[in-house]
Amino acid sequence: MLHGRLELTPVAIKAGALLANRLCGAGTELMDYEAVPTTVFTPLEYGTIGLTEEQAKERHGADNIATYHTRYKPLEWAVDKLITEGRRTCYVKVLVNRADSNRVVGFHICSPNAGEITQGVAIGFKMGMTKEQMDSVVGIHPTSAEDCIGLDATKEEDPDATKTGC
């Protein structure tokens, strides 16, 4: 049944392979529809995995969710004056369940290469990474991906969280 599920070709392929393994006795794994990395390929890509902010607060309780975020301009835009002088920015948001060892329950990014970044984050997400584990990774400079780690401002404490500097 696909009602409320992602209707994407890679999801169907993975779900079918898992079903085939179960039917022939070679496995028991079920498809995890919440841990599907997804990207919308618009001029500024949007990538997501896990729960939305609203879903996370509903499922785990609003008091248990911390929403780490930042607005930033990637260094790769520094050569384009139309972008750097304009209001165009990128955004990343990491949802953390405080009641479960700061486990990451949602990731959202709007930036160049968001699909590639989301695919990388999906590995840790699928393995149950915590915010501390995510922050322990060394960022690759100068990429938008480095702005996804080491987030220290929460939406609850700093609704704007605009990054300044490198």
Q: From residue 103, how far is each of 19, 86, 97 by CA, in Å?
A: 28, 36, 5
Q: How far is Cα 96 from Cα 132, in angstroms, rounded to an integer? A: 10
Catalytic residue among 3, 60, 69, 141: 141
Q: What are the b/e assignments for 140-161, b being 16+ CB within 10 Å? A: eeebbbbbbbebebbbeeeeeb
Strands (E) across 77-159 are located at 90-97, 103-110
Contact between residue 49 and residue 118 where contact means Cβ atoms under 8 Å apart: yes
Tokens of 2: 């696909």
Q: Respond yes or no: is residue 3 known to be catalytic.
A: no
Q: Which residue has the tokens 């001029």?
A: 43
Q: Which positions are annotated as active-site residues?
A: 141
